[in-house]
Structures are given as C-alpha cells and as structure tokens.
C-alpha cells in the first residue's frame, strides 16, 4: 500500500468532497466537451463535480483507496465516473482521446513534472482544454498544504515557458485561500493554468 492509499483509507475525505474553487469557477471553459480526464484525482471530488455538469469523466489516480472513494462519492451524487488505476510517471497514456483534462494539485518531482504534463496534453484531442492548479515553489513558506519539499512544487517561469507552446487562455501565480478538507487549509501560493492544445 503506497502513502496515498494510507492517506485515503479513512472514511473521511482528506481533501473534502467539494470541488476545487478554481475548477468550479472555470468549469464553463469546457463548454460542450464530452469526455474529460481528471489526472491525479485522489478521492474524486473534482471528477464527480464535472460529472454533475454533464461531462463523461474518467478519474486516474495512483491510489486504489482514492478511486474507491471516487466511486462512492459519485453514487452519492447520482452520477457515474469511470476510474482507472494509473502511475502517471511510469504508465502510458491513450493519445488523442479526451476533449478536456484537469489536474488539481498533482505534484511530482521536478525531473518528472513536464514528462507527466506532456503526456496529459498528448491525451487530448486537437483543441482540447487543459486546466490545472498546483502549488508554486513559494508555497513552502505558507505551510498550508502541499508537498514539504521544493522538488515537488512548480516554478512559475518554467510552467509558463512550457505552457506557451500551446494557446494559453489563463495563467496566474496568485495567493488564494484554499480550505479543502484537512489537507489544504489557508492562504496559499498557487499556479493556475488553462490552455488549449495546439497540434
């Protein structure tokens, strides 16, 4: 059992059951997008939210315990979410399948970050929309959630340079309040990105 299975095996939803605020505010960017993939989805709060908005959602995560809670949460909201156990670093992604993709607080070592992001974008169809919110390097000073090592946080300029290969619809490095279960609690420094895939 990995650390995320350990974190998620409690009946309590570690990051709560309500969607991430940035995703909730920006959901309309997906428009009529039918198929959306939620990567590093944890216990399913964002995937279930998108399903309640009429999207066909697949939740990918490394923790089976999280995926099981995704199924339970979906049933409680009377929606269906497909779940798939996936190691986002090691496992291949299906190419060109999804109309949209979401990753909320999916954190990896800096050596792996952009390989994962490239695979996520690769899973999108042409003109597919990718939305993400992650902690910026400066989050270490806030101590309100996220990784405790800078190696697992994202650098503003590096993310912007990577995203600029595509059509950037929104990019911000901002202070926000995030109260999400017991995992995120308070003022935080985040990076927000919405972009449209270019071929």
Residue 77 near residue 53 (C-beta atoms within 8 A): no
Asked whether residue 181 carries a pLDDT value surpassing 80, the answer given is: no
Count of structural domains, the chain: 1
Q: What is the mean pLDDT of residues 66-74?
A: 94
DSSP bridge partners of 81: 57
Query: What is the model's pTM?
Result: 0.95
Q: Which domain holds residue 137?
A: 3-196
CATH code for the domain of 93: 3.40.50.150
Buried b or exposed e, range 42-72, using 16+ CB within 10 angstroms? bbbbbbbbbbeeebbbbbbbbbbbbbbbbbe
* pLDDT score of 33: 86
Each residue's pLDDT tens digit, 108-126: 999 999 999 999 999 999 9
* pLDDT score of 128: 97
* pLDDT band at residue 15 under the 50/70/90 scheme: confident
């Amino acid at each position: 059992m990995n650390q995320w299975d350990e974190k998620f095996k409690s009946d309590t939803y570690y990051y709560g059951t309500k969607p991430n605020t940035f995703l909730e505010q920006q959901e309309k960017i997906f428009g009529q997008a039918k198929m959306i993939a939620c990567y590093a989805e944890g216990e399913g709060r964002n995937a279930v939210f998108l399903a309640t908005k009429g999207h066909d959602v697949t939740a990918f995560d490394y923790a089976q315990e999280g995926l099981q809670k995704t199924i339970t949460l979906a049933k409680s909201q009377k929606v269906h979410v497909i779940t798939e156990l996936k190691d986002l670093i090691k496992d291949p992604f299906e190419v060109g399948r999804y109309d949209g993709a979401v990753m909320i607080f999916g954190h990896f070592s800096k050596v792996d970050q952009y390989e994962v992001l490239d695979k996520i974008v690769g899973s999108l169809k042409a003109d597919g929309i990718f939305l993400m919110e992650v902690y910026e390097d400066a989050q270490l000073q806030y101590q309100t959630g996220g990784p405790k090592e800078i190696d697992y946080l994202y650098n503003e300029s590096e993310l912007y340079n990577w995203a600029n290969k595509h059509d950037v619809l929104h990019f911000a490095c901002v202070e926000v309040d995030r109260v999400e279960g017991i995992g995120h609690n308070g003022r935080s420094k985040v990076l927000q990105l919405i972009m449209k895939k270019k071929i």
